[in-house]
Amino acid sequence: MRVTQHIENAQGKPLFSFEILPPLKGQNIQSIFDGIDPLMEFQPPFIDVTYHREEYEFKELENGLLQKKIVKKRPGTVGICAAIQGKYDVDAIPHVLCGGFTKEDTENLLIDLDFLGIDNVVALRGDALKTETYFKPEKDGNHYASDLVEQISNLNRGIYLDEDLKNTAKTNFCIGVAGYPEKHMEAPSLDSDIHFLKQKIKNGADYIITQMFFDNQKFFEFVDKCRKAGIEVPIIPGLKPIATKKQLNLIPHRFSLELPDSLIMEVVRAKDNDAVKQIGIEWCIAQSKELLAAGVPVLHYYSMGKADNIKSIAKEVF
C-alpha cells in the first residue's frame, strides 16, 4: 500500500515508522529481524531501508604500489525489502539514489522493485563519495533528486527510456523525498532549498520525510514555509535520539544541523553514555509528544539498527 494511503486510512491517528540500515557485508539478515522484532508491537505500516553505494578504497600491494578497489560495505537493500514484506506483511520502502546509477540502471532497479510488489520508494540524490569534494553523477545518470523523481513518475505513466517500446506497463510507486528543516548543507538558504523541494513535488513526489532535527520549532517553521510556498503533500518529521557524547560533534558536522544549547548542556554534564542515552530518550519523547499535539501524520525514527531506545520512546508516545 502507498504511504499516502496509509495516512489517509489512519483518519488522523498518528502512525509509527522507522528506518533501518542493511547489515555490513558478511553478516546475515537475522540482525535486521532482531532490530525489527521489538518494534512490531507499535504496528508500523512501513519501514524504510537505506541504500549504500559503492566506495573506493586503496590497498597497498607487496610491491608498495596502491591498488584502487571498489567496495560496497552494506549491500542487500532490495533483498531486505522483499524479506521484510514477506515476513512482517508491512510495506518496505527502499531508498533509491542518483549516485552510482545510470538512468538505465535506475529503470532496471525500479522494474525489479515493481515485480517484487514494492509500492513505495524514497528518491534521494545521495552524498558525494569520500574521495569527492562534490557529488558527481554517473555518466547518463540523474544529477538531482528532482530528476530521479521525474524518471520514476515517467515510469508510473508507462514512459520508459526506450521510446520504441510498445504497450508498456505502468508502475504505481508512491514517491517520498527528503526535506531539510535546517536546509541542505549545500543550499545557500532555507528558502532556496524549499524552492528546489517544490520542484521535486512538481515532478511527482507524493510526500516529504525530513532530516533529523532536535528543535521542533525549526520543523514547525519549515512546514509553515513549505505551505506558504504551495507545497501541500504530507510532511513526516524524522527523529533520532542522541545516544553518545561523541554525537554532540558528529551529528552537527555530519548532517549540518544545530543542537539546542539545553540538550548540549545536559549531555555534557552526563556521567557516562548510559546517562546520555537516557537523556536522548527523554528529549525525543518530549519532541514526539509535541509533534503529535501539532497533528503530524507520522513519526519516523532513525533507528540505525538499534531498537532499544526507539522502543522506550514509542512505549511513552504510542
Domain ranges of the chain: 3-317
Residue scoring higher pLDDT (66 or 37)? 37
- 69, 56 Cβ separation under 8 angstroms: yes
* Beta strand spans in the chain (E): 15-20, 46-49, 55-60, 66-71, 91-97, 120-124, 174-179, 207-212, 235-239, 298-302
Cell (9 digits) for 118: 514494492
Could you please report the per-residue DSSP string of 34-96?
A: HHHGGGGGG--SEEEE-----EEEEEE-TTS-EEEEEE-SS--HHHHHHHHHHHH-SEEEEEE
Residue 278 reports pLDDT greater than 90:
yes
Q: Average per-residue pLDDT in the chain?
A: 95
Q: Could you tell me the CA-to-CA distances from 178 to 192, 244, 269 in Å, in that order?
A: 15, 25, 33
**Confidence (pTM):** 0.94
Q: What's the mean pLDDT in 294-318?
A: 95
The CATH classification of domain 3-317, taken from the options 3.40.640.10, 3.20.20.220, 1.10.540.10, 3.30.500.10: 3.20.20.220
pLDDT digits (tens, 9 = 90+) for 174-227: 999 999 999 999 999 999 999 999 999 999 999 999 999 999 999 999 999 999
Q: Which helix (H) or strand (E) holds 239?
A: strand 235-239
pLDDT above 90: percentage of residues in the chain: 88
Residue 61: band (very low, low, confident or very high) from pLDDT cuts 50, 70, 90: confident
The pLDDT of residue 59 is 78
Residue 242 reports pLDDT greater than 80:
yes
Cell (9 digits) for 273: 553514555
Residue scoring higher pLDDT (45 or 56)? 45
